[in-house]
Structure 1
Amino acid sequence: MPDHADMNVHRLLDLDNGWVDRRIFFDRGIYEAELERIFARCWLFVAHESQIAVPGDFLTTYMGEDAVIVARGRDRSINVFLNSCSHRGNRVCFAEAGRARSFVCNYHGWSFGLDGRFLAAPQQALYERCSSFDPNRLGLHRARVETYKGLVFATFDPDAPSLADYLGDFTWYLDVVLDNDDGGTEFVEGCIKSRLKCNWKVPAENFVGDAYHAPWTHDSGARAVFGRGVWMAPDHESYQANINGHGWEFGLDGVGNAAALGYREIVEHLRSREPAVAARLGNERARMVGALSSVTLFPNFSFLPGHLAFRVWHPKGPHEIELHTWSMINRGDPEHIKEMYRKGVMRTFSPAGILEMDDGENWEHATQTNAGFVTRTRKLYYGLGQGSQCERPPFPGNLFANQFNDANQRAFYRRWANLLSAKGWADVPAG
């Protein structure tokens, strides 16, 4: 395993010419460095505020491979801390979600508050005779927590920049889905969980900018929904935008992705709202609300703005992920529209979904074929769209013409390499 202190993965990338070394998808040492320098360093999505609406509400999830609890405290603060007892390391909470007054480890009965603070231990007087016993040091290790318009993020790095700096001007794009209505957003109750045998970067880079696969990969699924294949003319007005490794690829067609949910009522609902959204966010963002598009917030939080399908690619080793999927909706939408979004996401992007099966098969084979010795020596080409950078007010960030492009994927891997090669956040360039 390489020494993380001196890891320079830039040598594995030639992004100026569009080449990527396959070792980044299977090398165990690189993966361990990712856990340390990306997943223990970056701001990671952990919950939507609607999932922990009242004091005592909690859910369990992961930050990299670190199991964590996300809980709403009695003072309504949001707390994120390791789901591992400070006594013998057992998992403290096994439930996926619920409401609790405290968390009690089932090994020795140690209990912890909604903020992770140590509360008590059975026969605690025995411990109090020990000179090293200090309740203040026995709480569950806490992460920093910040939110953006309903989305909850956490990081274990005390030196990480603020969430506002981490997101940068990418919030302009996030507001397309998070702030197009006065009432804000909420997650539909429930989470779809599944496992895929692929490297976490493969689906993350797919969502950050791979519109190119859709007309081919999803042709049969689109025919099942529409009676025709995916139509994405390469010359229609479309773009890729990236900031700090976060990427959004999009057209300005208005309802392309939303239509794939299979409900005409959703399309009509979005079209009826377009004037109000335009008044709130401007004409360009109003045309992006349901458009053909996909997004990844670096490193592993992705969503489809048109579908409102949100997902996290949790790494489980170099060759496997656990995928968590939700549907997000506007809180003020009619109940029948919310139900259509819920069913539409299950129909398209669930383990049995007509589009998810296409993607999952490709992602698994794109990872597993790297087992071959000779295959590993052949670099992968990411050169599409070189020289396509442009300016188009009011779109901020690094903008590129045509959503059929590898520009966002190149930016994703540049951010990846910068983080792995840096000893601390002071060494990580923005952009």
Structure 2
Amino acid sequence: MDNNLIKLKPIEASPALPNLDKLCDMEAGRMSGKIFWDGDIYEQELEKIFARCWLFVAHESQIPKAGDYIATTMGEDEVLVVRQKDASIKVLINACPHRGNKVCFAEAGNARGFICNYHGWAFGTDGALRGMHESGVYEDSAFDKSQHGLREARVDSYKGLVFATFAADAPSLAEYLGPMAWYLDVILDNDEGGTEFAGGCIRSTIECNWKIAAENFVGDILHAGWTHDSAARAMLGGAVAQVSDFPESWSVNWNGHGYEFARDLVGNAAVLGESAINKYLHLQAPKAAERLGEFRSRMLGAVSSFTLFPNFSFLPGQNTMRVWQPRGPNKIELYTWVIVNKNAPQDVKDKWRRGAMMTFSPTGVFEMDDGENWEYCTKTSRGKVTRYQDLYVGLGMNTRLADTDLPGNVFKGQLNEANSRAFYQYWKDLLKAPSWADVPDRNGQLR
């Protein structure tokens, strides 16, 4: 274990907030709007969720060469994701251990090291302290440079996606993903060349609680046929199929992660309005079937959405991946990327990127719809009476499927709030648990 990682002291868990069971009761399918507005709840989320869970920080394609880095956040902690000389990746807290100033102000680049503007402390790309301005004054003291490097998070990756956690006691990434990795492979491993991010990061701000956005992708297909009807008709030039028309669809969850999907191959992709993308998916499906089996090959661009708990989501077909970065209880900074197969033709990659700009970007026809709804779902919860109003999350109770070979907790149909219930149950379990060892395993018990 790296010395810098050892020096990252564990956070002593704060006592659980009172009344969490009253605010969030997934057995009854009800919760309170207070969880979207309360400042004390948000502070506990930063400590017990964002400082504990595995969080997405980068795609390996963003930092291909030694010294390449990107700046991002884990919760509200600013970090640098840096490619090392041995091709490994480190995630370093972007704060000098002398007075806490940022050591890097750029969003991305290539560097031989990082230097603090305040007192000239210089760090290697591995985070080790190399020297300081006026270094001679430290020579006669007990100062040990090896104890003052940039603090480091645990890092692991899955098929190009890089994750990090600050928790030494967190399960491994493989355990954290569990059976949901089988579904991740639909977008990450349908081609032998793997994936890459096309273009840069799209960043925007929405005045909403992070959970509302994350839950929308974990399993809320309910809104699509209503909220996005006019936009979808405009993009497709005619009537839009309803989710209830699909003969087969599922909702699957595991430890707060959730994927809702059909197997129509191009349903999500079609709304980009690019026939070349639909053609590519039809040509790719047989290749995907060889790698993933026929069942998953029909999921490539299908009507579907996915959230890895807590705040990493993507849309197959539209091929947008996003992180809902928390910036207080009623604000998020949204980071969005377009993911494509490395081996896809360049014109198809370009059309995917342009299609994402038209649909899921700050001016996209679908994102504007969602952003307005999420903001008002958050803002109504500031009312003293409204914040205690019961919100219903009970659709699809007792629809779990026992006679299926699909991995995870599988529920009948996409028009189902099973994934939302699993998301909020896991959220509550983490807020109540003093450590990872205290988080209950509810898989197999969900309704």
Q: TM-score, normalised by structure 1?
A: 0.97
Q: SS state of the match for residue 373, structure 1? A: coil
Aligned-pair Cα RMSD in Å = 1.2
Runs of 4+ aligned residues of structure 1 deviating over 4 Å after TM superposition are none
Q: Name the SS for the 2:127 alignment partner.
A: coil
Pick from 154, 160, 165 the counterpart of residue 175 of structure 2: 165
Counterpart residue identity of residue 58, structure 2: A
Q: Does 1:261 align with 2:272?
A: yes
Q: Would you say 1:358 and 2:369 are equivalent positions?
A: yes
Partner of 1:333: 344
Counterpart of 2:289 in structure 1 is 278
1:75 aligns to 2:86 (yes or no): yes
What are the Cα deviations for residues 217-260 of structure 1, in whole angstroms up to 9, with x where unaligned?
00111122012354224152111000111000001111000111
CA distance in 1, matches of 2:197, 2:126: 23
Q: Measure, in 1, the Cα distance between the counterparts of 2:404 and 2:182.
A: 12
Q: Deviations over 1:294-346 (max 9, x none)?
A: 00000000000121100000000000000000000001101011001110111
Aligned pair count reads 428
> Which of the residues 345, 350, 358 maps onto 2:356?
345
Q: Which residue of 2 aligns with 1:135?
A: 145
Aligned letter for 1:157? A
Q: 2-side partners of 1:18 and 1:147: how far apart?
A: 34
Q: Unmatched 5+ residue regions in structure 1?
A: none
Q: Matched residues in 2 for 1:127 and 1:223: separation?
A: 68
Residue identity in the other structure for 2:137:
L
Preserved CA contact (<8 Å) 1:67 1:82:
yes
Structure 1: distance between partners of 2:284 and 2:201: 28
State yes or no: 1:155 paired with 2:144.
no
Residue in structure 1 matching 2:205, options 192, 195, 199? 195
Q: Which residue in the other structure is 1:300 paired with?
A: 311
Deviation at 1:394, TM superposition (A): 3.5
User: Do the aligned partners of 2:194 and 2:341 also contact (CA within 8 Å) in 1?
Assistant: yes
| Corresponding residue number in structure 1 for 2:427 | 416
1:88 equivalent in structure 2:
99
Indicate the SS of the match to 1:152: strand
Identical pairs, percent: 56
Equivalent residue of 1:98, what SS?
A: strand
Residues 88-116 of structure 1 deviation map (CA, whole Å, 9 limit, x = unaligned): 11111110101011011111211111111
Query: C-alpha distance in 2, partners of 1:158/1:128?
Result: 33
Of residues 112, 118, 122, the one that matches 1:111 is: 122
> Where does 1:224-243 land on structure 2 (aligned, <5 Å)?
224-236=234-246, 237-243=248-254
1:122 Cα offset (Å): 1.1
Whole-Å Cα distance in 2 between the matches of residues 248 and 139 of structure 1? 40
Q: Is the 8 A contact 1:44 1:155 kept in 2?
A: yes
Which of the residues 49, 55, 62 maps onto 1:38? 49
Q: Which amino acid aligns with 2:376?
A: H
Are 2:243 and 2:414, in contact at CA under 8 Å, matched by a contact in 1? Answer: no
More deviation, 229-238/410-419: 229-238
Q: Which residue of 2 aligns with 1:210?
A: 220
1:61 counterpart residue number: 72
Structure 1 distance, partners of 2:267, 2:281, is 11
**Amino acid in the other structure paired with 2:193:** G
Alpha-carbon separation, structure 2, partners of 1:422 and 1:408: 21
SS in 2 for 1:189: strand
Q: Output aligned runs, 1:47-58, within 5 Å.
A: 47-58=58-69
